[in-house]
């Protein structure tokens, strides 16, 4: 069976074309319509079939490669990764009780919950039109009485209709409301804490910290949550224990 007989046409969707193609291919991989080591058609064939530019195709494939879902082999083409990894998410990110210090009291405080509409960067990331409603959340995490992390999350409002009922977990609240992320892409890097974040965390100007970016995806590949967070370097001990399917 040929690729295009399985992946005949892009479904109607909002957002930039490269995001539509990216979501389409991601969902096909996770649903098993594209199997491990399957070859994707050349960029020029994908572009011609879907009526888009090669630059658009290249941008979508680059993101899937960054997520480890496809691999590019010089002179051979692009292939579905043999064993695409997918973290099963009990918590959205294991930066919570276990990681913030054994034997210490940990807690989270929702410092802000605001409603608004997407800005330009969020519209591109979510693949939604301007005017789409979102919920913006700010959370502080504590060890005993010491603030150790501050996080800012943006969630599509249709998936979180009652932000007042968050409880202590954003992802559990999303599951109660309906479709919730089944995987999340995390990016972590060491940083010097910005002055405002250092002040919120009781740290000194120029102190080391850890910066987190996270995107949460539904089963069909749509992004529904974006989080950016900063944590104190002297209070972060990162361990990730992820269940991996397909390994």
Yes or no: say if 222 and 58 are a contact pair by the CB < 8 Å rule.
no
List, in order of start, the domains of the chain with CATH numbers: 3-80 (1.10.10.10), 87-244 (3.40.1410.10)
> Sign of dihedral through CA atoms 172, 177, 178, 179?
negative
Closest Cα partner for 159 from 139, 181, 144? 181
> pLDDT tens-digit profile of 110-143?
999 999 999 999 998 898 899 999 999 999 988 8
For residues 55-76, one letter each, b for 16 or more C-beta atoms within 10 angstroms of the residue's C-beta and e for the rest, the string is: ebbebbbebbeebebbbeeeee
- Global model pTM greater than 0.85: no
Q: What pairs with residue 71 in β-bridges?
A: 79
> pLDDT tens-digit profile of 141-152?
888 788 999 999
């Amino acid at each position: 069976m040929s690729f295009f007989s399985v992946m005949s046409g892009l479904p109607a969707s909002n957002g930039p074309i490269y995001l539509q193609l990216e979501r389409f291919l991601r969902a096909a991989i996770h649903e098993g319509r594209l199997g491990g080591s399957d070859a994707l058609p050349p960029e020029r064939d994908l572009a011609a079939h879907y009526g888009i530019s090669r630059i658009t195709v290249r941008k979508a494939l680059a993101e899937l490669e960054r997520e480890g879902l496809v691999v590019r082999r010089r002179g051979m083409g692009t292939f579905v990764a043999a064993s695409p990894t997918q973290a099963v998410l009990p918590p959205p990110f294991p930066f919570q009780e276990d990681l913030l210090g054994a034997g210490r009291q940990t807690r989270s405080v929702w410092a802000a919950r605001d409603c608004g509409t997407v800005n330009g960067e969020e519209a591109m990331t979510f693949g939604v039109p301007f005017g789409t409603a979102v919920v913006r959340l700010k959370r502080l995490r504590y060890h005993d009485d010491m603030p150790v992390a501050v996080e800012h999350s943006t969630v599509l409002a249709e998936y979180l209709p009652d932000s007042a009922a968050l409880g202590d977990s954003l992802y559990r609240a999303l599951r109660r409301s309906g479709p919730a992320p089944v995987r999340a892409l995390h990016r972590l890097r060491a940083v010097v804490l910005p002055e405002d974040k250092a002040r919120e965390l009781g740290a000194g100007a120029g102190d080391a910290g850890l910066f987190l970016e996270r995107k949460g995806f539904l089963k069909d590949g749509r992004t529904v949550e974006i989080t950016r967070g900063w944590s104190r370097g002297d209070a972060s001990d990162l361990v990730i224990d992820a269940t991996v399917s397909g390994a």
